[in-house]
Amino acid sequence: MQFIKPDININFIGKRKLAFVFSIVMLTISIGSLILHGGPRLGIDFQGGTLIQVKFLAPVEINTIKTGLNTVGLDKSSVQQFGELQDIEFLIRTDSSVMTTEGFTNDVKKALDAETGGVAEIRRVEMVGPQVGQDLREKALFAMFYALLFITIYISGRFELKWLLSGVVAVALIGAVYLFTLFNVSIPYLIVAALIVTLILFWFLELKYAMGAIVALIHDVTITVGLFSIFDKEFTLAIIAALLTIIGYSLNDTIIIFDRIRENLRKYHKKPLEVILNRSINETLSRTILTSATTLFVVVTLFVMGGGIIHDFAFALIVGVAVGTYSSVFVASPILLAWQGKQAKKKR
């Protein structure tokens, strides 16, 4: 289905400098927020602790709930409203990991009933130990790093036929990361350092398509995580799933444009690269807008009607789809043009 005229010629590449400024501003704000807050606000999946979701039939005060929790040893708990105001639901979080047996649930219910004078319905109780939370946090970081790395192997092989070279680079990086983990190097800093080294290697080894793809993916993930930090949203395993989904979505969008660029480089090899890039983006514009619009329609519906539990997951997907579509056009493709500038300097 094509609803945009086939001869449309929007100068996307001509606006690349403005887009780069916008991206740099967004990345700076995102990274600044993460530094200011000491990283994203981790949920109990990664931090460890106990979470209780409770619903009341009549309005109650948060201080009253806290008083009731004190009687069952949960005196250092945070209580916040959950969902819509009329739902009268609350999330109770504590850093301590308690044994969430049936007896514990009954004790919490009785304490809340007695203190609030109402009827409390315990909807869920989750407990994660601190060691388990740390293990999950490290595995989540590795999952995203390896996803990005294996994607670059695929891009290099498909578009540049450099399967062996990109494979050797990936194996070397994985080996180095594994080696440093044996010396108890902080995993977040290790992953960031590995990604920086990956980008440097791709630049010097002239894996331009892989470079464009991975820069766009890092761009998308950083801005999404940064917005979670800015809005003080909780970072859980569901959000990791959303980030991996965003990586796949953004990559798919980028590959479609890269495919058309490769075809047009053969057909119009005498034309300037800037003209070819613009033509390729415009030729795939109809497909890009349709895919993004239909995906956004679904995730916005989830965000509005899906309830509190899926709210943050849907928010991450909305941000990721929007930023992923933008980065495929204004980040991944212009990097190929930057590469041409590098090669021209080498010739001179």
CATH code, domain carrying 67 = 3.30.70.3400
- Whether 187 and 275 map to the same domain: the answer is yes
- Whether 121 and 216 map to the same domain: the answer is no
Nearest to 260 by CA among 247, 276, 273, 249: 276
**What is the domain count for the chain?**
2
Q: What is the pLDDT of residue 88?
A: 83
Q: What is the pLDDT of residue 178?
A: 81
Transcribe 14-26 into DSSP letters. GGHHHHHHHHHHH
User: Percentage of residues in the chain with pLDDT exceeding 90?
Assistant: 24
Average pLDDT over residues 130-158: 81
Residue recorded with tokens 């989540």: 140
Here the CATH number for the domain that contains residue 189 is 1.20.1640.10
- Whether 30 and 54 map to the same domain: the answer is no
Bridge partners (DSSP) listed for residue 93 = 51, 78
Q: What is the pLDDT of residue 2?
A: 56
* Angle subtended at Cα 12 by Cα 9 and Cα 16, rounded to the nearest 5 degrees: 160
pLDDT digits (tens, 9 = 90+) for 286-323: 888 888 999 999 999 999 888 777 888 999 999 999 99
What are the tokens at 166?
């990109």
For the chain, list the strands marked E by DSSP.
41-42, 49-56, 77-82, 89-94, 120-128, 234-235
| Range of the structural domain that residue 271 is part of | 13-43+132-347
Q: Is the dihedral of CA 263, 268, 269, 273 positive or negative?
A: negative
Q: Does any domain span residue 7? A: no
- Whether 160 and 201 map to the same domain: the answer is yes
Q: Does any domain span residue 4? A: no
- Whether 96 and 34 map to the same domain: the answer is no
Q: Does any domain span residue 8? A: no
Domain termination residue (choose one: 102, 128, 154): 128
What is the number of alpha carbons within 13 Å of residue 235 lying toward its C-beta? 26
Can you tell me the distance from the alpha carbon of 57 to that of 119, in angstroms, rounded to the nearest whole number?
A: 6
pLDDT digits (tens, 9 = 90+) for 206-218: 888 888 999 999 9
Residue scoring higher pLDDT (70 or 329): 329
CB 209 within 8 A of CB 254: no
Residue scoring higher pLDDT (343 or 284): 284
Helix (H) or strand (E) holding 169: helix 163-181
- Whether 63 and 156 map to the same domain: the answer is no
Can you tell me the distance from the alpha carbon of 333 to that of 326, in angstroms, rounded to the nearest whole number?
A: 11
Q: Which residues contact 43 (CB under 8 A, 6 or more apart)?
A: 51, 234, 235, 236, 237
Kindly report the average pLDDT of the chain as a whole number: 84
Domain termination residue (choose one: 128, 144, 173): 128
In angstroms, how far is CA 311 from the centroid of its own chain? 15
- Whether 115 and 139 map to the same domain: the answer is no
Task: Please determine, for residue 348, whether its predicted confidence score (pLDDT) is greater than 80.
Answer: no
CB 336 within 8 A of CB 208: yes
pLDDT band for position 3 (cuts 50, 70, 90): low
SS3 state of residue 55: strand
pLDDT digits (tens, 9 = 90+) for 222-281: 999 999 999 988 888 889 899 999 999 998 899 999 999 989 988 888 888 888 999 999
Average pLDDT over residues 189-199: 84
Residues 17-21: contacts with CB within 8 Å, 24+ apart?
Answer: 19/326, 19/330, 19/331, 19/334, 20/330, 20/334
SS3 state of residue 12: coil
